[in-house]
Amino acid sequence: MRLPRPRPKLDQENSAFWTGGAEGKLRIVRCGDCGNYTHPPRILCRHCQSENVSAEPVAGTGVIDTFTVNHQPWAKDLPVPYVIARVALDGVPGVYLTTNIVNCPVEAVGFGDPVRVVFEEQDGVFYPLFEKAD
C-alpha cells in the first residue's frame, strides 16, 4: 500500500524519528534525566523540561490500542479500505503512534493485536507503519 502521505518538515527535533527507518530503527526521544519518553519528538523533555534528551532506538513492536477502518476514497490514488490505528509501543510507556496497519486485510485487524514496525520510504522520509506480528 502506498498512500500519498503529508511530508513532515525535517528539523532538529524530528529528523531522527523520520529517518531512523534507513537503519531499520524506530527512534523515540528519551530523557537522560528522568528516563521518560516524549512523542512527538521535542528537544525538551515534556515531563521534566530537561534538555538532556536523545532519540533512542526502541523495540519497534507494540499492540493495537484502537483503530478505525477508512472506507472513504479521499484521493483517487488512495486505495480503500485501509486501517488507521493507534499503536501502544512496547517498552515505551505513554507513547502511542497513529499509523496504518499494512500487509493484511482490514478484517484481520483487531484490538490488542501484536504488531511490528515496517518502514515505507518516500523521498528520504521513512514512515513508520505496522504489520501484524503473528
Q: Where along the sequence are the contacts to Zn ion (CB under 5 A)?
A: 31, 33-34, 45, 47-48, 50
The total of other beta-carbon atoms located within 10 Å of residue 4's CB is 11
Judged by CB, which is closer to Zn ion: 52, or 66? 52
CB nearer Zn ion, residue 51 or residue 121: 51
- 29-32 — which CB contacts under 8 Å span 24+ positions? 29/53, 29/54, 29/55, 29/56, 30/54, 30/55, 30/56
Residue 129 C-beta: closest distance to Zn ion, Å = 29
Smallest separation, CB 17 to Zn ion (Å): 18
Shortest CB 87 distance to Zn ion, Å: 23
Q: Which is nearer to Zn ion, 24 or 94 (CB)?
A: 94
Task: Give the number of other CB atoms < 10 A from CB of residue 7.
Answer: 12
CB-wise, 53 or 125, nearer to Zn ion? Answer: 53
Least distance CB 88 / Zn ion (angstroms): 20
Nearest to 118 by CA among 132, 134, 98, 108: 132
